[in-house]
Amino acid sequence: MRQVLKDSAEEVNVGAQRLMELNEKVTREDEVDLEKEISELEKLFQEIGLKISNHSQIK
């Protein structure tokens, strides 16, 4: 479980970095496909949640 949490923390950091990059992108660009960008972030975080949930159910 510790390894899953460590891996998940790394994935969350990647997601947080992508979120900060999106914020910067929105600030500097006029046309950003927010729906697509947010959908991709949601998918990333949902996958992380599923990994944790699946692992905890196995134990």
Q: Give me the chain's average pLDDT, please.
A: 87
> What does each C-alpha distance from 10 to 5, 14, 31, 45 come to in angstroms?
9, 6, 30, 12
Taking the whole predicted model, whether its pTM rises above 0.75 is answered as: no
What percentage of the chain exceeds 70 in pLDDT?
Answer: 95
**Domain assignments of the chain as residue spans, ordered by start:** 2-58
Which residue's entry shows tokens 């790394």?
Answer: 10
Which tens digits make up the pLDDT trace of 12-39?
Answer: 999 999 999 999 999 999 899 999 999 9
State yes or no: pLDDT of 58 exceeds 70.
no
Confidence category of residue 40, pLDDT binned at 50, 70, 90: very high
